Amino acid sequence: MSEGTNTPRVYLDHNATTPLRPEVGRLWQELAQSNLGNPSSLHASGRAARDVIDRARERVAAALGVLEDEVVFTGGGTEANNLALQGRAAALPKDRTILAGATEHPSVQAVVERLAKIGRPIKRLAVDRSGLVNPEQVAFFLESGPVGLMTLQLANSEVGTVQPVAELASLLGARGEGPTLHVDAVQALGRLPLDLAGDLARADLVSLSAHKVGGPLGVGILVRRKGTALAAPLVGGGQEEGLRPGTEAAPAIGAAALAVELAVRDQESHATEVREHATWLWSELTSALPGLDLLGPPIEDASRRLPNTLTLHLGEQDARLLVTRLDQEGLECSAGSACSSGAVEASHVLLAMGLDERAARAGLRLSLGRNTTRSDCKRALDVLVKVISPLLATRNNSVDL
């Protein structure tokens, strides 16, 4: 909880971004003030900056259980997704179909739409009311013609649905032989077990982002397995194996590596704590606000939903307007993905889950984080009941009439 000028504030928008971890901030500041040079320069200051990046790559690889030369630093999760999809599509034969989930992050949706406009064959993977992809549909598409790439979000940023990626990956065949598998794991890091040597060993490309786990903004990670060819969308420099030209932000990358290490180390305890808080909050909300719906898999299905995410459905209330009202009362949350919540259209995620246009504007996302306390949850409960109760009463009265 943070204090504003008059109203105590509670931040429940951790799926959008997380507060910088203190130890990560200290390292970032220390590196930023150490007079590092350009990492591509050959003099001592340049070599010092290069050493920071090399050590960061080593630490990230060790934390994720991958090889050092499989770690590519980017400017964020969105860039990692773009590099993975545009880069891989450009390296594939043009007749190969691309499979994409209907509820993917906007940074994936936009790339897929662009590829469709230039004639690449695209097939969308439908989801059920919980947001889950059907393995039978994946199998059908794989049998229907040559598939070059499948992209899936491991954990959905809006409703918290966790896809059965390991099960779906088993349909693709061995890595290096079947279609390329890209996994957007941005929301999963630090919240779910991320076993890139086990359940996700089949993934050829995996996108991650530092600021979702208490790291600095502006640093993403693309895990590119050996043998996975990418055509660089940008040119003009040889950084990151030529895949991401431009001078690297060595201090931020060094700090991001620490954030990833801590996220992996603390994942189990963090997930347990935020799940307990989220479960308590949902239980209290349903008692205080009968008729409130939870989007995504059931709260008790821990294997199929992010432990920290509650997306409430408010019938036909526009959640964007409600976010402003809640903010005035001291509760910060979201109407959906931070990359799309400012848009006027209905949520593509909720539309894909079967909601109509009006109902797809009524999803209110609460996402808890490492700093969330039970006191924060109690304060959030008070604010939610205060703001939502009159809306539900109006809706119920309208139905009675």
Which residues are catalytic, by number?
A: 339
Cα separation, 386 vs 399, in Å, equals 21
**370 three-state secondary structure:** coil
| Backbone phi and psi for residue 140, each to the nearest 5 degrees, phi listed first | -60, -45
SS3 content of the chain, % helix, strand, coil (to 5): 45, 15, 40
**How far is it, in rounded angstroms, from Cα 175 to Cα 346?**
37
Rounded Cα–Cα distance for residues 80 and 208 (Å) = 7
What is the C-alpha separation between 226 and 216, in angstroms, rounded? 27
Token pair recorded at residue 116: 């469709």
DSSP H helical ranges for 118-183: 135-144, 165-169
Element (H, E) at 181: strand 180-184
